[in-house]
């Protein structure tokens, strides 16, 4: 018991000495039978400690497994993008091209990585503009952001298993708050479309020979891959800018609602007067149909236990998360900003976020009269229309 008390006091002392705005910070080393963990303390309680590595990844260490601890002689310095690019080149095969763009270090198929890097950079600038206009409570981003685009599903799934992600054949990509990386893949259909786009066939006497087509000024990425990249990239930005907690309990409807709202348009810096062009039309169509045909729950029911609805029908749940988020962001922007901050700043190590607590946090910002809010919500959604193209 005295050992764990000494360890806890040691971590508290180191954490208090960390200057929050400095680039060089203290870090610790916790040694366990499974290996040594080095990093900056992020949070801890009597059972576990979360450490941040210099590349931005997080690791949790169980106190029961710690045999030795010390203050590490090297100061904590966030890994530079150049060092991270070198690391990724070493980590993956030569078939990966690694490009730095804005806040991102993007690794993917040669000749196409630049287009993906340009896309996430534009998305990041739009994200920053949107959060500024709407005054969402964002923090300064501390780490470079890694994006991995695999050229086939098999390599992607192998990498995902290393992150303990098993989404099956339907999983197109993901952001992992602990590794702090986005990973996705180009489907065979996507790659075939790209091959057709960039190569043309000519006949020769000995058979078919391919030559490169003239390169366009900008590469048009396949919609499915681009959509996945934008969605997961929004998650990555939201978690790194403090809109969600990387180690705390985040209700799924909040996380997916924000991402589906912002993915609707490449121009996320639109103001409230541009409402029609910010609508995620596929989510709107789905929710309006679901609302008229089968929806029996209320906003209160969904907030109290959103996972029940995601387990039941994931597409309906995604559409409802979008609809509620869009309604709140458009009709109650200040309260929505406060609500995001309230949830993100909960005790990160509190593993229980009960239905009662979720509803109470929601009511603290949007009022206790949830039946009346439900009426206004449905009226708002019914008044939205899909654009006629």
CA distances from 327 to 189, 378, 383 (A): 36, 9, 11
Query: Do 257 and 211 fall into the same domain?
Result: no
Closest C-alpha to 335, from 304, 375, 373: 373
Contacts of 83 (CB under 8 A, 6+ apart): none
Q: What's the confidence (pLDDT) of residue 264?
A: 80
- Among 47, 77, 107, which residue terminates a domain? 77
Taking residues 316-335, report their average pLDDT.
Answer: 97
Residue 86 lies in a domain: yes
pTM: 0.87
CA distances from 133 to 126, 272, 277 (A): 10, 9, 16
210 bridge partner residues: 201
Query: Do 86 and 129 fall into the same domain?
Result: yes
The mean-pLDDT minimum among 19-28, 196-205, 276-285, 322-331 falls in 196-205
As a three-state string, the secondary structure of 30-91 is EEECCEEEEEEEEEECCCEEEEECCCCCEEEEEHHHCCEEEECCCCEECCCHHHHHHHHHHH
Residue 132 lies in a domain: yes
Is the pLDDT score of 115 beyond 60?
Answer: yes
Closest C-alpha to 105, from 85, 80, 86: 85
Domain range enclosing 55: 2-77
Q: How many domains does the chain have?
A: 3
Contacts of 170 (CB under 8 A, 6+ apart): none
pLDDT band at 169 (very low <50, low <70, confident <90, very high): confident
Q: What is d(CA 270, CA 265) in angstroms, rounded to the nearest whole number?
A: 9
Query: Do 53 and 87 fall into the same domain?
Result: no
- Higher pLDDT residue, 111 or 257? 257
The mean-pLDDT minimum among 7-21, 42-56, 172-186, 310-324 falls in 7-21
- Among 46, 77, 108, which residue terminates a domain? 77
- Among 231, 261, 296, which residue terminates a domain? 231
Q: What's the confidence (pLDDT) of residue 357?
A: 97
First-to-last C-alpha distance (Å) of the chain: 68
Is the pLDDT score of 100 beyond 50?
Answer: yes
């Amino acid at each position: 018991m005295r050992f764990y008390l000494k360890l806890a006091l040691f971590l508290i002392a180191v954490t208090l000495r960390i200057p929050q705005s400095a680039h060089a910070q203290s870090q610790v080393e916790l040694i366990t039978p499974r290996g040594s963990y080095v990093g900056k303390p992020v949070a801890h309680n009597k059972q576990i400690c979360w450490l941040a590595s210099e590349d931005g990844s997080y690791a949790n260490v169980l106190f029961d497994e710690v045999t030795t601890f010390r203050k590490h002689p090297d100061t904590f310095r966030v890994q530079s993008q150049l060092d991270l690019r070198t690391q990724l080149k070493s980590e993956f095969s030569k078939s990966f091209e690694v490009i730095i763009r804005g806040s991102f270090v993007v690794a993917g198929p040669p000749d196409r990585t630049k287009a993906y890097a340009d896309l996430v950079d534009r998305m990041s600038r739009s994200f920053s503009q949107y959060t500024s206009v709407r005054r969402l409570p964002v923090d300064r981003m501390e780490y470079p952001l890694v994006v991995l685009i695999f050229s086939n599903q098999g390599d992607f799934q192998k990498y995902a298993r290393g992150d303990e992600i098993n989404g099956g054949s339907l999983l197109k990509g993901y952001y992992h708050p602990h590794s702090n990386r986005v990973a996705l893949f180009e489907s065979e259909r996507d790659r075939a479309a790209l091959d057709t786009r960039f190569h043309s066939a000519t006949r020769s006497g000995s058979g078919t020979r391919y030559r490169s087509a003239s390169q366009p000024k900008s590469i048009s990425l396949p919609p499915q891959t681009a959509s996945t990249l934008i969605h997961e990239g929004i998650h990555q930005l939201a978690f790194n800018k403090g809109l969600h907690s990387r180690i705390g309990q985040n209700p799924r409807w909040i996380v997916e609602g924000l991402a589906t709202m912002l993915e609707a348009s490449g121009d996320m810096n639109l103001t409230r007067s541009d409402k029609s062009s910010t609508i995620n039309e596929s989510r709107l169509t789905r929710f309006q149909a679901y609302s008229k045909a089968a929806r029996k729950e209320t906003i209160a029911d969904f907030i109290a236990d959103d996972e029940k609805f995601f387990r039941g029908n994931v597409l309906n749940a995604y559409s409802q998360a979008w609809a509620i988020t869009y309604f709140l962001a458009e009709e109650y922007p200040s309260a929505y900003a406060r609500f995001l901050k309230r949830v993100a700043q909960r005790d990160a190590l509190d593993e229980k976020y009960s239905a009662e607590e979720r509803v109470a946090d929601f009511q603290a910002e949007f009022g206790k009269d949830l039946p009346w809010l439900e009426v206004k919500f449905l009226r708002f959604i019914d008044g939205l229309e899909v654009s006629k193209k």
